[in-house]
Amino acid sequence: MKYYEGHEDIYKKAKKSNISSWDEFSKQSESFEEFCMKEYLETALGRIKPVSNARVLEIGCGTGPISCFLAQKGYIVDGFDVSHTAIEIARTNAKDRGLDIHYSVDDICSISKTRSDIYDIIIDGHCMHCITYDSDRHAALTNVFNLLKEGGYFVVDTMSWEDPIKCPLYEQIDGRFDEQGILWHEVKENYPYDKVKYENKYWFCSRRIMNPADLENELKQAGLLIEYIELHKDDTVEYLLDFRAICRKPMSD
Ligand SMILES: C[S@@+](CC[C@H](N)C(=O)[O-])C[C@H]1O[C@@H](n2cnc3c(N)ncnc32)[C@H](O)[C@@H]1O
């Protein structure tokens, strides 16, 4: 199984403990409604001013706090995630709130090429930093580009640090960074998700931390125009910056 499918185990634990969202699980928020990206999403929507029936996709939607928030605003929302359990919980969360959201299990790195030019807005609420290798990130951003309508927006909120090798996140989750900013953890030989062996140990990559300039460049390389960038420092989290961007797929004249 691909390394980025590893969230499945955490969602299984969350389901058992009746925890409603990733942010709640990681103790960054106390309720489904108060997700970390909420304030920024309000700002981004204020800038974009989408039409009232805009079609929105959330990639890596998890259990759906962001998707529910968007559906409550009246947008037509699709969300997908590689985790089956997350999507199962997301469907329940939407149903409990009387919301009609189309959820599916899918992978942004390999989503069907027949789907294109569909969305007015695509949201990355902390999915892209789970995709660590350049080749996978390239595939993901190419798919985002193809799924957007011309003039459509990609709203990004992703982990960042000026000097990724020195990012203190590794102290929090007991791992180490390589020179590309990929965070590695030691795992057991029978660990079910993609792992590599070096120094006679098995390692698993969980996050990619890039500096803001490299993130900006990567989005431009994918063909997107950058309309807005903000580096957000949350006072309660000492070890990370949030790179927040609003990008646009160009019109073809
Ligand atoms: C940090 S969680 C955030 C979930 C959700 N956006 C939220 O705010 O609760 C990142 C999510 O991305 C999903 N993910 C990781 N790689 C993915 C991929 N290649 N395609 C789709 N989803 C992916 C994970 O399963 C996980 O649910």
Pocket test for ligand 1, best of 40, 127, 137 (most atoms within 8 A of CB): 127
CA 70 to chain centre: 16
Find the residues whose C-beta lies inside 6 A of ligand 1.
4, 7, 21-23, 35, 59-62, 65-66, 81-83, 86, 107-109, 125-127, 130-131
Q: For residue 118, which of 148, 98, 83 has the smallest C-alpha distance?
A: 148
The whole-number average pLDDT for the span 159-185 is 86
pLDDT at 192: 94
Domain ranges of the chain: 3-164+209-248
Q: Is the pLDDT of residue 116 over 80?
A: no
Q: Give 117's pLDDT tier (boundaries 50, 70, 90).
A: confident
Q: What is the pLDDT of residues 17-28, one digit of tens each?
A: 999 899 888 888
Domain covering 3-164+209-248, topology: Rossmann fold (3.40.50)
**Mean pLDDT for all residues in the chain:** 93
For 101, 121, 157, the CA distances from 82, given in Å and listed in that order, are 17, 20, 19
What Rg do the C-alpha atoms of the chain give, in angstroms?
18
Distance 209 CA to ligand 1 centre (A): 15
Percent of the chain at pLDDT > 70 equals 97
Q: What is the pLDDT of residues 71-80, one digit of tens each?
A: 999 999 999 9
